[in-house]
Structure 1
Amino acid sequence: MNQALSDFFNKINEIFDVIRIVSDYIWAFPTQYTWYASIPIIGELAMPIVILFGVGIYFTIRTKFIALLSFKRSVGIILSKQPSKTGVSALSAFMLGLAMRIGPGNIVGVTGAIAVGGPGALFWMWVAAFFGMTTAFMEAVLAQIFKEKKNEEFVGGLPFYGKRLLGNMRWVGVCLSVAFIIYALFNIPAQTFNVFSAIDQITKNTTGVTYEKQSFFSYSVALILILSSAILIFGGIRRVIKYVNILVPFKATLFFIVSIYLVITNITLIPYFFEVVIKEAFSPSAIFGGSVGVAIAQGVKRGLMSNEAGQGTITMAAAIADNRHPCEQGFVQSFGVFVDTMVICTLTGFIVIFAHLWETPDATYWDAIKDQRIEMYLESVKALTSEHLEHFIKILIAVCYGLFAFTTLLGMISFAEISANYISKKDSFILFIRILGACVFVPFGVITVLADLRLSNLWNITDLTNLMMVYLNIPILLLGAPLVYQALKHYLENEKNKQLQFDSDNVLGVKTEYWTSIPKN
């Protein structure tokens, strides 16, 4: 890549260095202050963690542990027949939600949480996920209540319910829609980097060759990634859903099979796994800082950032589903949190903790590898498998990692499109959003890889946009919570007699575009 292009990207890095400073400050606030940091355990938890965790606990208590009901109801709802030809099925909405939830963070994020917070971080990840299931239920129900029709499809999510709950002012919805579009688009370059990282691992373990960034092979990968993204995105939400319905089960099943194989072949380590996870959750070793607060902070942060409960970022998938009752999609998306964290993230935790690389005799080895997330995970895989299967297993893991990134990329652009419908449902505007995602931000991410620049400062904006979504969504969830409680009461009172006909005007005292005008049985 020529010097002019390198200088251009370096200049971008300098510009976004300011964002890194802001992002780091907000993510750590108020742990920087002595008065707060001196509080035992709590003093090590940043405000975003306290808010997400606290709200999850509050909603769980107020709904009388509704997450426990998700296990029983969600599978039946997911497999049920679609009520009409409008919108997408509960299964498709579930898969689209998982496309966003199950991403590279399920591997590198969990690995990083354990590297910093110790095995105990996984325990707190489980705790956060349980309470996060209720938060996901709340935001999904609101997304359903205030969804709107667009031809034979539904649109909705945070901008739509935010506008209705905040005085029904259009500018509120526009601001929320713009915020989400910014969040989604600026997450795309990181996913393109992850796709390339996965392909690098595949080629390295199949051929033993590491291709240069400025090579015919790398350019070919770049072209295929851009074209495939564009073909799927310009086909609209239904085309994306069609392929997501194939890719999500495939990537999840493949990762599950490979992980279970590694667990079974090292089954004698299971007692060690549970012993060290529980022990380190309440009494972390010195190598991880010896602090319970750090273990909690890493576990809660990674758990909630992975399953995205409370950010409002999965509400677009919840809104486009065709359900008999708003609460049905709440159960579905709540179950999505369980699959993401309690299943996929836990499988990653098994591998990393089984390998316990921090206990190697060479202390310098751990210091050298603990900040290299994907490398640490692959080294853990290597430690748990036989030499003749090592490369094959690594290839399968790399395929999963690449698919995690690619489906997340598709989800980001698709959700940005759904959100953009609040600003305008005109085809020309939606086309503009598709062009931004598939023809601007995907190629931009590709170019940064080919330029061999990680743009770490640019990627810090993703952390900032994550926080932006949390701080925008949580107050709105609290404001809309009474409506969810009423909808849930109606559902529980009528599910046995299967009289789930929901009229928002009668049940909630609120007129909505869809649930007020649906035909009566």
Structure 2
Amino acid sequence: MDKIESFISAAANFVWGIPLLVLVMGGGIFFMFYSGFAPFSYFRHALDVLRGKYDDPDAPGDVSHFQALSGALAATIGMGNVSGVAIAIVMGGPGVIFWMWVSAFFGMATKFFTCTLAVMYRGKDSNGDVQGGPMYVITEGLGKKWKPLAVFFSVFCFFGATPIFQANQVIQVTNDVLLTPAGFTWAGSFGSNLVMGLAITALTCLVIFGGIKRIGLVASRIVPFMVVLYMACVLYIMGIHFFDIPHIFGMILSDAFTAKAAMGGAIGALIIEGAKRASFSNEAGIGTAPLMHGASKTKEPVREGLVAMMGPAIDTLIVCTLTGFAILATNVWQTTDTNGITLTGKAFEAAMPTVGPFLLFLCVLIFGFTTLFSYSYYGTKCVSFLAGAKYAHYFNYWYVSIIIVGSITTLTMVVDFINVMFGLMAIPTMVGAILLAPKVKAAANDYFGRVKRGELVKQS
């Protein structure tokens, strides 16, 4: 097992090298400047789209703009925001948060381009149903000769869109908050984790076998609540450490350019760590969000790009930042050798004794399960593309079995495995988006021109 863990760790370091950093972060910078920052000028319009002001019930697709964003956020606002930020701080120190901000800022432009393309180049599966995602963007936008790149994405998404991290951390927080304090000596044992993994599997099955419409419905109802609850908890922590905020900002900014806290002065390594953790949290450029946004009911691709653009802002710039501030404000990252969800739990306990860990436990359950629901949809679309729609539902059986694997696997192995898969998924996603960027710019110029001329009709 140690040899496997070492191999996966080495693979993660290899995949997330300078070339991939240039592709993901450099691609985001390119998208931002190539668009002329135009999407940000229409943020209020994007909110109107999200609120359903321009919904067309007769448009192709399966879910509303709001449900598509909720479904994508259900997958991204999850354990990456709670555990992932803790891991990032332990690995890279406070400065890693700054590079997460940078990556997320340009990631907003990446989401705009990739999710606009997901609607612009929707294809049809073997049943004739309209589908969106990087594999269809590549085959429909670039042509059939590029299909090997689409297959490349689908294969690694099959393994990347798995629930091992979420299952692992839900069980960890259950052990930390409920079982261990209650004196259960078997907490954290193989048998205990296996039983909880089976319970998580059963609950997940109730939702994922209902398909995208049930996932979208559940996500649209749960995601707003989970974000508000978690933000309220972290804002409370920030409130009692209000006068420490300037110091925290200063610590983040100074460490971002020295890396002295954890990376030994290796700025490049710190930037890679920030980009990697931002990608893990908001998935900009990875290709999972276009799978969800491609199912949106709309005839206007740019609208979905505008809605999708909000994802990294909500996910990383707000939620991840709050998590990072809570950990830094309580100073638990320097006083304990814990990692992942356990470290975040220490921050909640330090700020809100007794009640804090239970509030985090509730948040984590919601975060974990909503991510579990959404990821299953991503995998079924990959199987549908690779083998045909009639085989898509078989992915769910594979999917729920992987929950059990995540329940009994170490955190380090789980994180490294996901990093490898996400990094490989980013290659076809970003290559396709960069090659088709002129198509998005032309569509955006046309759409924003119609917005200025008042030619778009709002729904009453």
1:222, 1:179 → 2: CA distance?
Answer: 24
CA spacing shift, 1:214–1:295, aligned 2, 3 Å: closer
Aligned residue in 2 for 1:492: 448
Of residues 156, 168, 187, the one that matches 2:132 is: 156
Aligned residue in 2 for 1:430: 392
CA spacing shift, 1:66–1:303, aligned 2, 3 Å: farther
1:338, 1:373 → 2: CA distance?
Answer: 22
1:268, 1:243 → 2: CA distance?
Answer: 39
Aligned residue in 2 for 1:4: none
Aligned 8 A contact 1:104 1:405 in 2: yes
Of residues 137, 154, 167, the one that matches 1:177 is: 154
2:344, 2:410 → 1: CA distance?
Answer: 20
Aligned residue in 2 for 1:468: 424
2:289, 2:133 → 1: CA distance?
Answer: 8
**TM-score scaled by length of structure 2:** 0.89
1:393 aligns with 2:356: yes
2:445, 2:260 → 1: CA distance?
Answer: 46
Aligned residue in 2 for 1:41: none
1:58 aligns with 2:40: no
1:205, 1:414 → 2: CA distance?
Answer: 34
CA drift at 1:175? 4.3
1:193 aligns with 2:168: yes
Aligned 8 A contact 2:160 2:421 in 1: yes
Listed one character per residue, the Cα deviations across residues 178-209 of structure 1 (whole Å, up to 9, x for unaligned) are 3322321xx32222112211222331487454
Listed one character per residue, the Cα deviations across residues 142-185 of structure 1 (whole Å, up to 9, x for unaligned) are 0010124678974210110111233224843444333322321x
1:83, 1:93 → 2: CA distance?
Answer: 14
1:299, 1:455 → 2: CA distance?
Answer: 19
2:414, 2:124 → 1: CA distance?
Answer: 36
Q: Point out the structure with max Rg over C-alpha.
A: 1
Q: Secondary structure at the residue paired with 1:495?
A: helix
Q: Percent identity?
A: 27
1:274, 1:234 → 2: CA distance?
Answer: 45
1:407 aligns with 2:384: no
Single out whichever of 211-220 and 65-74 deviates more from structure 2.
Answer: 211-220
Aligned residue in 1 for 2:264: 289
RMSD, aligned α-carbons: 2.8
Residue type matched to 2:434 in 1?
L
Higher relative contact order (CA 8 A, sep 6+): 2
1:215, 1:460 → 2: CA distance?
Answer: 21
CA spacing shift, 1:69–1:204, aligned 2, 3 Å: farther
Of residues 325, 328, 342, the one that matches 1:375 is: 342
CA drift at 1:377? 2.3
Aligned residue in 1 for 2:433: 477
Map 1:264-279 to 2 at 5 A: 264-279=239-254
CA spacing shift, 1:434–1:219, aligned 2, 3 Å: closer
Aligned 8 A contact 2:201 2:404 in 1: yes
CA spacing shift, 1:445–1:304, aligned 2, 3 Å: closer
CA spacing shift, 1:347–1:493, aligned 2, 3 Å: same
Aligned residue in 2 for 1:23: 12
CA drift at 1:215? 9.2
1:97 aligns with 2:72: yes
Of residues 88, 100, 104, the one that matches 1:113 is: 88
Aligned 8 A contact 2:164 2:406 in 1: yes
Aligned 8 A contact 1:316 1:419 in 2: no
2:142, 2:356 → 1: CA distance?
Answer: 51
1:139, 1:286 → 2: CA distance?
Answer: 35
Of residues 311, 316, 320, the one that matches 1:341 is: 316
Listed one character per residue, the Cα deviations across residues 342-367 of structure 1 (whole Å, up to 9, x for unaligned) are 110010111112123466xxxxx55x
1:167, 1:109 → 2: CA distance?
Answer: 37
2:114, 2:218 → 1: CA distance?
Answer: 26
CA drift at 1:257? 0.8
Q: Secondary structure at the residue paired with 1:83?
A: coil
1:116, 1:397 → 2: CA distance?
Answer: 22
Aligned 8 A contact 2:134 2:428 in 1: no
Aligned 8 A contact 1:205 1:391 in 2: no
Aligned residue in 2 for 1:42: none
1:355 aligns with 2:330: yes
Aligned residue in 2 for 1:308: 283
CA drift at 1:17? 4.9
2:38, 2:283 → 1: CA distance?
Answer: 18
2:147, 2:22 → 1: CA distance?
Answer: 29
CA spacing shift, 1:155–1:276, aligned 2, 3 Å: same
Q: How many correspondences in the alignment?
A: 452
Aligned residue in 2 for 1:71: 43
Aligned residue in 2 for 1:322: 297
Residue type matched to 1:454 in 2?
T
Aligned residue in 2 for 1:134: 109
2:40, 2:391 → 1: CA distance?
Answer: 41
Aligned 8 A contact 2:406 2:414 in 1: no
1:228 aligns with 2:203: yes
CA drift at 1:411? 1.5
Aligned residue in 2 for 1:417: 380
Aligned 8 A contact 1:133 1:309 in 2: yes
Q: Secondary structure at the residue paired with 1:314?
A: helix
CA drift at 1:90? 0.2
Listed one character per residue, the Cα deviations across residues 92-150 of structure 1 (whole Å, up to 9, x for unaligned) are 00001101111211122222222333322222221211111001111001001012467
1:232, 1:241 → 2: CA distance?
Answer: 10
2:209, 2:133 → 1: CA distance?
Answer: 21
Single out whichever of 258-267 and 404-413 deviates more from structure 2.
Answer: 404-413
**TM-score scaled by length of structure 1:** 0.79
Aligned 8 A contact 2:86 2:324 in 1: yes
Aligned 8 A contact 1:120 1:278 in 2: yes
